[in-house]
Amino acid sequence: MNTRALPLYATIAIFLIAYLLCWLQFPNILSTRVIGNLLTDNAYLGIVAVGMTLVILSGGIDLSVGSVIAFSGVFIAVMLRDTGLHPLVVFAILLAITTAFGAAMGFLIDRLAMPAFIVTLAGMFLARGAAYMLSIDSVPIQHPFFKTLQSAYYLMPGKGRLTLIGVLMILTVVAGMIIAHRTRFGLSVYALGGGEQTARLMGVRQGRTTMLVYGFSGLMAGLSGIVFSVYTGSGYSLATVGTELTAIAAVVIGGTLLSGGAGYMFGTLVGVLTMGLIQTYIVFDGSLSSWWTKIVIGILLLVFILLQKGLLKLSRTRLA
Amino acid sequence: MLLSIRSLTKTFPGTLALDGVDFDLRAGEVHALLGENGAGKSTLIKCLTGAYRRDGGTVALEGAQIDPRSTVEAQDLGIGTVYQEVNLLPNLTVAQNLMFGREPRRFGLIDARATRSEARAMLRQYGLDLDVDRDLGSYSVAIQQIIAIARAVALSGKVLILDEPTASLDAAEVQMVFDVVRGLRDRGLGIVFVSHFLDQVFDLTDRVTVLRNGRRITTLDTADLDRVQLIEHMLGRALEDAVGDAAADGAGSVRPELLSFQGFGRRGVIEPFDLSVGQGEVVGLAGLLGSGRTETAELMFGVRPAQTGKAHDANGQLDLSNPRAAIAQGFGFAPEDRKTDGIVPDLSIRENIILGLQAQRGWARPIPRAEQNRLADDYIRRLDIRTSGREKPIGELSGGNQQKAVLARWLAMNPRFLILDEPTRGIDVGAHAEILRLIRELTDAGMSVLVISSEIDELVAVADRVIVVRDRRHVAELKGTRLGGDEIMRAIADSGEVA
């Protein structure tokens, strides 16, 4: 068996055990209502984490996505308020902007051989600043099309709502799985994460791949911004501060190696749902402070980093 | 003629790396490319694989002129390369590595099943039946090397360049790789084989081309060649001069004691040992990797402080609790892994040489630049470090010259006791002999040296006395007439009765 799949199995096992423990205490947690809400509440995070997974697999990092989500929300709200454009047109413009923004960062990272950390950190400030330029205040979205989007859901048996944005997240993850595991581009991403020098010798076009990876992450951040604006019904430049870090946490808890080259897209979905489950448990309990979410996530992250170190050691000793 | 190179020339700033080299490769032969470090082997290969562009000369593959600009282009032309370090991705599966970039696709998506079955079929040609779904990294280096060969052949298929492919393999694994190479030769590929191991060259190759200082010296059939002749071609001088007869001199003569270690040891690292070192003496330390050789040196130098025992010189007890203290006592230590522990590759030769001396003086008293230049030039001349100037980054020198610069750093501090861990690792025969001669010169001037080496002949040649280490214990001490290759070998292999 491949040791690299172990973190994925561990993630799934932890999620199932956690769900079981929650269910023992609160049997209601295993209802379609809770599951539906779990998907809806974490839709924006799941989508942005798909982009982040690809970036981390390539050996990089994208710190700009939280700011890009906030920018997207403000951009949509302001455009809908000040112009007569249909939301779908605004969405298209927005996705083009965020994709180009990501690709531009990828271009700089490759051409200037700069650390992704620095380039995307600059991108983070840029995008947040651009959001402030558009509006400092929270801008409500009143367009009727948004009402339609918000109320679009499929009523599952047990009265759970499978919302449009929840479905969109699942579709994004499926698309991410196909891209990462079933295309030459995806394999090139793994190759870059495994070793740039070697990847180049094997024929990977590093510049193109890097641009595509960060462009994809920008696209996902824009899509996540759309979902977030539907979810909250407004655009606010102070929203989603630190979401990039939450997304990174979800990717790592999902079993992807932070140094790149190993991991699974599906694990990221489980990582997002695990974090959502903790939040849900705290809501059910009622007496716990919501900061407990952060503490549990911190512990989980630590466990996973240790697990990965341990596996790395294991595979080394097996080689020796 | 499959590949024919005429008057190939390549210059780098300050050096003529290749000077009108001719080289022919027939289909169906294994052709060894030999030479010391810096002779131009790697430059020649890089010109062939497109990593470098040549400055002059012609390269013809099957009669057609070629000028590859990248490794990928060279591959498409039919020239594939396998390097010393496996250049595949350990985080991908065997099948993904073999088929990378040309995976069979269905509806635009990779067809995993077809990828697997094609990979399996490829490996079967080499007599390998592997689980192609496992990560490449989970297989031994030998298997990875064969997979790298399989990939290179599948992508190129005319010329295969093997650049020290056996450096990290054991004997059985080497034979495994050689069987594969012989199979490819019989299929009509032209194979260029670069190696430092002369045994392997005699074992595998049909012809040998020797390069020296960027020129082709000769091309001969391997069958007509004897070892001494080959080494003479590589070095351009007779070997006897280089090494000298150190062991004979040292035998029996009594030297004043410089240092003595009593009961020196550390739990789990090395059992307590007694050792005395005479003035101007070369003490050798023999043993297998992991036997406690390097650990002995680390204890002496305070890298890992000793838990038991004491060290004395004529004036009393020595503090060797950390490297700084050891340096203050006039100790020096050139570690085994030159690349990570010895040199700072981006700094110049001058800066690398004065580093130790400056650290000893403290940063508040910088060595004047004129003094630095004098020191650097002096050692470059004395140790015959081959470089275009003292300001060249040390990372650009060949291995042997880097090692000499590391030595120069310690010599500049004028130590009384110098520890050299594998001083000749990864450097060619010529530089090898020069370093051994240098060690003799130093001890003739009164310095004491401890040499750790896995090459037994080297120890016999240079040391007055050899300590054999096994299983983290000093098990034998050989000197005088008992000091010989067979005796050391027996002591390493056998129980402590030899002592």
Q: Which CATH number fits domain A3-314: 1.20.1110, 1.10.246, 1.10.3470, 1.10.287?
A: 1.10.3470
* Per-residue pLDDT tens digits for B263-295: 888 887 888 888 888 888 999 988 766 678 888
Eight-class DSSP state of A154: E
* Per-residue pLDDT tens digits for A110-158: 999 999 999 999 999 999 999 999 999 999 999 999 999 998 899 888 8
pLDDT at residue B470 in the model = 79
Q: Give the closest-approach CA distance of A114 to chain B in angstroms.
A: 19
SS (H, E, C) chain B: CCEEEEEEEEEECCEEEEEEEEEEECCCEEEEEECCCCCCHHHHHHHHHCCCCCCEEEEEECCEECCCCCHHHHHHHCEEEECCCCCCCCCCEHHHHHHCCCCCEECCEECHHHHHHHHHHHHHCCCCCCCCCCEHHHCCHHHHHHHHHHHHHHHCCCEEEEECCCCCCCHHHHHHHHHHHHHHHHCCCEEEEECCCHHHHHHHCCEEEEEECCEEEEEEEHHHCCHHHHHHHHHCCCHHHHHCCHHHHHCCCCCCEEEEEEEEEECCCEEEEEEEEECCCEEEEECCCCCCHHHHHHHHHCCCCCCEEEEEECCEECCCCCHHHHHHCCEEEECCCHHHHHCCCCCEHHHHHHHHHHHHHCCCCCCCHHHHHHHHHHHHHHCCCCCCCCCCEHHHCCHHHHHHHHHHHHHHCCCCEEEEECCCCCCCHHHHHHHHHHHHHHHHCCCEEEEECCCHHHHHHHCCEEEEEECCEEEEEEEHHHCCHHHHHHHHHCCHHHC
The band of B384, judged by pLDDT with boundaries at 50, 70 and 90, is confident
Using a CB-CB distance cutoff of 8 angstroms, which residues of chain B are in contact with residue A182? 109-110, 112
- The pLDDT of B40-59, averaged and rounded, is 88
Q: Which CATH number fits domain B3-91+135-236: 3.30.70.890, 3.40.50.1110, 3.20.20.70, 3.40.50.300?
A: 3.40.50.300
A182/B90 touch (CB, cutoff 8 Å), yes or no? no
Domain edges within chain A: 3-314
Using a CB-CB distance cutoff of 8 angstroms, which residues of chain A are in contact with residue B87? 197-198, 201-202
- Closest-CA residue of A relative to B113 is A182
Phi, psi for residue B271 in degrees, rounded to 5: -70, 150
Q: Which residues contact A183 (CB under 8 A, 6 or more apart)?
A: B108, B109, B110
A184 touches chain B (CB under 8 A): yes
- The pLDDT of B450-479, averaged and rounded, is 83
Taking the model in full, what pTM does it have? 0.74
- Closest-CA residue of B relative to A179 is B109
Q: B477 has which bridge partners?
A: B467
Q: Which two tokens stand for residue A247?
A: 């997304």
Q: Is the pLDDT of residue A3 over 80?
A: no
- Closest-CA residue of B relative to A318 is B138
What percent of chain B shows pLDDT beyond 70?
A: 90
**Exposed, middle or buried: residue A2 (CB in 10 Å: 0-12, 13-18, 19+)?**
middle
The band of B474, judged by pLDDT with boundaries at 50, 70 and 90, is confident
Residue A153 host element (H or E) = strand A153-155
By the 8 A CB rule, do B97 and B145 touch? no
Using a CB-CB distance cutoff of 8 angstroms, which residues of chain A are in contact with residue B93? 2
What percent of chain B shows pLDDT beyond 90?
A: 16
Structure ipTM: 0.84
By the 8 A CB rule, do A64 and A108 touch? no
What percent of chain A shows pLDDT beyond 70?
A: 97
pLDDT at residue A318 in the model = 57
A190/B89 touch (CB, cutoff 8 Å), yes or no? yes
Q: Is the pLDDT of residue A187 over 70?
A: yes
A202/B96 touch (CB, cutoff 8 Å), yes or no? no
Nearest-angstrom CA–CA distance, A249 and A251: 5
Domain edges within chain B: 3-91+135-236, 242-330+415-498, 347-413
Q: Which two tokens stand for residue B97?
A: 């590595």
Between A107-111, B60-64, B385-389, the lowest mean confidence (pLDDT) is in B385-389
Nearest-angstrom CA–CA distance, B188 and B2: 10
Chain B interface disruption, residue of A201, A259, A312, most B CBs within 10 A: A201
Q: B277 has which bridge partners?
A: B259
Q: Is A161 helix (H, G, I), strand (E, B) or coil?
A: strand
Using a CB-CB distance cutoff of 8 angstroms, which residues of chain A are in contact with residue B101? 184, 202-204
Eight-class DSSP state of A257: -
Residue type, position A8, single letter: L
With CA atoms as reference, report the closest residue to B493 among B463, B457, B456.
Answer: B456
Using DSSP bridges, classify how beta strands B56-61 and A153-155 pair: parallel, antiparallel or unpaired.
Answer: unpaired
What percent of chain A shows pLDDT beyond 90?
A: 68
Q: Which CATH number fits domain B242-330+415-498: 3.40.50.300, 2.40.100.10, 3.90.245.10, 2.120.10.30?
A: 3.40.50.300
- Closest-CA residue of B relative to A189 is B92
By the 8 A CB rule, do A225 and A68 touch? yes
- The pLDDT of B321-332, averaged and rounded, is 86
Q: Is the pLDDT of residue A178 over 90?
A: yes
Q: Which two tokens stand for residue B167?
A: 């450096």
Nearest-angstrom CA–CA distance, A79 and A57: 35
Q: Is the pLDDT of residue B498 over 60?
A: no
By the 8 A CB rule, do B291 and B246 touch? no
Q: Is A122 helix (H, G, I), strand (E, B) or coil?
A: helix
